[in-house]
Structure formats: C-alpha cells, structure tokens
Amino acid sequence: MAKYDAIVVGAGPSGLSMAALLAHAGRKVLVLEKENHVGGRAHGAKYRGQIVDNGIHGIALFGYMEEVFRRVGKPFPQFIYHERADILHEGKWRDMDELRSSEALVRIFMEDIVGQPYGELEKYYDISIKEWVSQRTDDEAAHLFFWHCAWTLLGGSRYEDVAATPLLVFLKERLEKAGTLDHCMADLRDGVAGMTTPLAEAIVERGSEIRTNTAVANIVIEGGKARGVRVATGDRVFKAQVVDSEFVEAPIVVSTVPVWDLFTVVSEDEFPQWYVDWIERIRTKTSVIFTLICGMDKQMWSDWQRYKWIPMLRRTGLGGCVILVPAYGEAVGQSQAIFFLQAHWNEVPSLFEANRAKNRLALERIFDHYEKDIKELFPEFERHCLWKIRHNAHWALAEAPGVAGGPHRPSVKVPGVENLYLVSDTVREGRTIGVERSASAALYCVDHLIVRK
C-alpha cells in the first residue's frame, strides 16, 4: 500500500484547500470522500440543461481562498457581483444606498468599528448585534442596515439572535482590506465546480490522491497520537451490513467534516469528557437555509446584479432573499432565480431529525408558505417559472450569542491528541464566512501547525 504524509477526511472546500496546500508544500496526501463526487456541501449537478448548485453558495472575496489558489498555481475562478439591493420595509421597496447615507450609521462605522482595535470588537460574542447597535443609536436606517448585513452574511433570521462580534469583525476587516463594503459578496460564474475542480486538479497534479466513494470508518488514535484511518472495504449488499475495513497509515490526519459530524469519524472516547460535552452542546445549534432554485424563461427584473431582501415574510415569519443568476449550461434563453430563507436551529424543525414525519411535513409547509409569499411579491414569477428545486441544508454553526466563534468554537488543534487537526468553517481559526472561512482555517493549519514542524 502507498505511504502518505497526511490523510485528509472530506473533499469539500476545506478538505480540497487543505490537501492542495499540503501537496504544494511537498507532502503526499490522500483525500478520502464518502460521496461519489468532490465538493462536500458545495457541489453541483446538471439539470434540464443547466448547471445547478446544491443551494446558494457565494464567496466573500477576503483574500483567503484567493491565497490558496495563488499558492497552488491555479487561476482564481471568475465571479459575478450582486452589489445592489432593494429592501422591503413597511410595504415599500427601499434602495440599500439610502440606508448608507444615515449620519448615525456613518458615525458608528467610523468611531465604533473602524476606529476600534479587533480586541475591542471581540468582546461581543455574547450579545446580539441588535443590542450592540441599540447602545449607540435608535436610528431606524442604521438598525435596518445592520439587520440586513447580519442576515445576509451570518445566517439566522431574527436581528436579536445574531452575535455582534462576527459581524463587526467582518465589516472592519472588509473596510481595511478594500476600503468599501461594495463587492464583498459574489457568486461563482461557473457554479461551485469552478472552484472545487481546480483545487482537485492541483492535488492530483502534485502526485497526491483523491478517493471518492470511500467512507472513513474511524480515525485511528493510539497512545495519544493519530496514526491513520480505517476505511470501509468490500461490497455492501445490505444497508444494515457491517462491512470490513482496512487501515491506512499516515503521521498526520486532518478531519474536515463539520463539527456536528465529528463523532462520526472519531470516537468521543479519545477526548476528555469536557470536550465531548462541549461539542455535544453546540453541534446541533446550526443555521439552516431553505433554497428554492428556479429555471426562468424571463428575468423578473432587468438588472440581474440587484437582489431583493425581505426582512420578514408574511406566512413564515422568516427573512427571505432572491437573486438572479445567468444560466450555466446548455439551455438557451433561460436564467435562474434563487430564493432562500434562513433560520437558526430554534426557529424551524431540526434537520438532524428530518426523517421524522412531523418534521418533514413541517419543513414542506415552510416551502409551501414561501412559494405563496413569492407569488404575492412577484406576480410574474409563476408565469415564467419553468422548473424548480426545493433544497434545505445546514449552513454552518449558528452565529448566535453564546455559540458564535471565538471561545465558543473548537480549535483546529484538538486537546490530548497529537497530529490530529480539525479544519472546517466551524472552527474558531476560520475567519469571515463560507468557503473563505474554510480557506482561512486551512491556511492557518498549514502555516502554523504542520509545515513549520
């Protein structure tokens, strides 16, 4: 059997970034992915002549994923901006630019965000952004702007349920790096495959390996050190069958599964009880996203770079958004409209128990209500919709007070086990959001914990 310098569990953006960086640093890496494709929660498929991503996926353009691509020698994928927004407020659509002109908002940004060191902003993990803003102003425009930013960037739906620190740090870092809040979010022009495919290529081109359809039975830890993994082998005839496994050795193991799946690949018996209790407390506290992906024969408004945000829909009580994207694939004369809702774990039925009939029916009702709201807000939608896909999934760990970032998240380095690392968008070292957070966690792990050894 081939010898490897490192094994990476999972081939999502975190795993691909980690493996590509290690391979570029001269390590021979084995990537193991249980699905039949790379991408993890960020993958796409062909449907009715179009390329469709499994939900909404954007990129924050903070430089972390760009740095990964630069190091591995791949051109960064093309992207499109959704840089203008209309907000439905008190029955009328308002341009986001109107909110930015608020004197109170400008003062808060200059004095309380840009003018403060990061250490000061990191004191607010346990209070909401609503409470933080309320301590500084009662200006309606300022509150609506921060609510929009919290919803768009961090998930959840209620203004009072999003922690202040993650948003404040995001805004400060963006302003320092770019000097503006414009263009801080973009969609990948060729879908998420435009990002994951080059990273996978970079891994293989450096002599490392990716195995799909390969489930990790467990990460092997002996004497307080990660020794490798056991992977399932042989044919599975029955769903309940206990299959054989083989041991694959490596001196470094990196788990890139999200924290809610950590104990599916490594036994909790390997960690101190306080750590297990900690993971169990936070792992189900996720943000959930409900996505309605629609093929359209006509755009619902002419400017596809403009998106619409509704802070609270009438039937679901959740916030919703709609963006327009060009059609990817072979279909001619079509575009996509992507509608999505967001909520924290305590606002909707648990996706961890979505197989229960009660929860499944409740989740279906959310989509039913959402579609009725869409048809009321956009009367032309039904006439021009050719097809639609309903999709829901965990976005990430919730950025809620007492759960968000910093001291409430596990570290890349786990306690009591050498040479085992956690790299995902659910660890504290990950900065910003989404795939950028995955990339920043991978860069941190490679630069601070592995390559310097």
For 390-400, how does the pLDDT look when each residue is reduced to its tens digit (9 = 90+)? 999 999 999 99
| Residue 311 in domain | yes
Question: Phi, psi at residue 438, to the nearest 5°?
Answer: -60, -45
| Residue 1 in domain | no
Q: Encode pLDDT of 403-442 as tens digits.
A: 998 899 999 999 999 999 999 999 999 988 889 999 999 9
Q: What is the pLDDT of residue 183?
A: 73
| Residue 20 in domain | yes
| Residue 135 in domain | yes
Asked if residue 390 and residue 290 are part of one domain, the reply reads: yes
Q: What is the pLDDT of residue 330?
A: 64
Q: Encode pLDDT of 276-326 as tens digits.
A: 999 999 999 999 999 999 999 888 888 878 899 999 999 999 999 998 887
Residue 343 has pLDDT above 80, yes or no: yes
Q: Encode pLDDT of 50-94 as tens digits.
A: 888 887 777 888 899 999 999 999 999 988 887 788 999 989 999
Q: Encode pLDDT of 43-53 as tens digits.
A: 888 888 888 88
Asked if residue 428 and residue 303 are part of one domain, the reply reads: no
* CA nearest neighbour of 60 among 148, 172, 186: 186
Q: Is 236 in contact with 57 (CB distance < 8 Å)?
A: no
Query: What is the band of 373 on the pLDDT scale with cuts at 50, 70, 90?
Result: very high
* Distance separating alpha carbons of residues 166 and 433, to the nearest angstrom: 9
Assigned token pair, 98: 């109107």
Q: Is 387 in contact with 295 (CB distance < 8 Å)?
A: yes
Asked if residue 424 and residue 302 are part of one domain, the reply reads: no
CATH number of the domain bearing residue 277:
3.50.50.60
| Residue 271 in domain | yes
Quote the pTM value.
0.94
Asked if residue 168 and residue 73 are part of one domain, the reply reads: no
Asked if residue 207 and residue 353 are part of one domain, the reply reads: no
Asked if residue 391 and residue 414 are part of one domain, the reply reads: no
| Residue 183 in domain | no
* Distance separating alpha carbons of residues 168 and 161, to the nearest angstrom: 15
Q: What is the pLDDT of residue 68?
A: 97
For residue 83, give every residue at least 6 positions away whose Cβ sits within 8 Å of its Cβ, in sequence order, or none.
Answer: 182, 183, 305
Residues 81, 343, 121: CA angle, nearest 5 degrees = 70
* Distance separating alpha carbons of residues 262 and 259, to the nearest angstrom: 5
| Alpha carbon of residue 305 to chain centroid | 21
Reduced 3-state DSSP string for the chain: CCCCCEEEECCCHHHHHHHHHHHHCCCCEEEECCCCCCCCCCCEEEECCEEEECCCCEECCCCHHHHHHHHHCCCCCCEEECCEEEEEECCEEEEHHHHHCCHHHHHHHHHHHHCCCHHHHCCCCCCEHHHHHHCCCCCHHHHHHHHHHHHHHHCCCCHHHCEHHHHHHHHHHHHHHHCCCCCCCEEECCCCHHHHHHHHHHHHHCCCEEECCCCEEEEEEECCEEEEEEEEECCCCCCCCCCEEEEEECCCEEECCCHHHHHHCCCHHHCCHHHHHHHHHHCCCEEEEEEEEEEECCCCCCCCCEEEEECCCCCCCCCEEEEEEECCECCCCCEEEEEEEEEECCCCCCHHHCCCHHHHHHHHHHHHHHHHHHHHHCCCHHHHEEEEEEEEEEEEECCCCCCCCHHHCCCCECCCCECEEECCCCCCCCCCCHHHHHHHHHHHHHHHHHCCC
* Distance separating alpha carbons of residues 322 and 331, to the nearest angstrom: 21
Asked if residue 338 and residue 269 are part of one domain, the reply reads: no
Q: What is the pLDDT of residue 112?
A: 97
Count of residues in the chain = 453
Q: Encode pLDDT of 131-165 as tens digits.
A: 999 999 999 999 999 999 999 889 899 999 999 99
Q: Is 52 in contact with 389 (CB distance < 8 Å)?
A: yes
| Residue 352 in domain | yes
Q: What is the dihedral of CA 174, 75, 438, 165, to 10 degrees?
A: 0
Asked if residue 153 and residue 275 are part of one domain, the reply reads: no
The boundaries of the domain holding residue 197 are: 6-78+190-283+401-450
* Distance separating alpha carbons of residues 67 and 166, to the nearest angstrom: 22
- Average pLDDT taken over every residue of the chain: 92
Residue 333 has pLDDT above 90, yes or no: no
Query: What is the band of 125 on the pLDDT scale with cuts at 50, 70, 90?
Result: very high
Residue 329 has pLDDT above 70, yes or no: no
Other Cβ atoms within 10 Å of 429 Cβ, number: 21
Residue 98 has pLDDT above 90, yes or no: no
Q: Which residue bears the tokens 């802070």?
A: 311
Asked if residue 444 and residue 366 are part of one domain, the reply reads: no
Q: Which residue bears the tokens 């403060």?
A: 116
Residues 105, 109, 115: CA angle, nearest 5 degrees = 150
Asked if residue 427 and residue 352 are part of one domain, the reply reads: no
The residue out of 133, 149, 178 marking a domain boundary is 178
Residue 350 has pLDDT above 60, yes or no: yes
Q: Which residue bears the tokens 């960020």?
A: 42
Asked if residue 202 and residue 70 are part of one domain, the reply reads: yes
Q: Is 185 in contact with 82 (CB distance < 8 Å)?
A: yes
| Residue 228 in domain | yes
Q: Which residue bears the tokens 């009880």?
A: 273
* Distance separating alpha carbons of residues 98 and 150, to the nearest angstrom: 18
Burial class (CB in 10 A: 0-12, 13-18, 19+), 446: buried
Q: Is 329 left (phi over 0), alpha (psi -120 to 50) or beta?
A: left
Adjacent-strand bridge partners of 225 = 222, 418
Asked if residue 171 and residue 150 are part of one domain, the reply reads: yes
Q: Give the HSE-up count for residue 441: Cα atoms under 13 Å, Cβ half-sphere.
A: 32
Q: Encode pLDDT of 244-285 as tens digits.
A: 899 999 999 999 999 999 999 999 999 999 999 999 999 999
Q: Encode pLDDT of 158-189 as tens digits.
A: 999 999 999 999 999 999 988 888 777 788 87
Q: Encode pLDDT of 5-41 as tens digits.
A: 999 999 999 999 999 999 999 999 999 999 999 998 8
Residue 328 has pLDDT above 70, yes or no: no
**Total domains in the fold of the chain:** 3
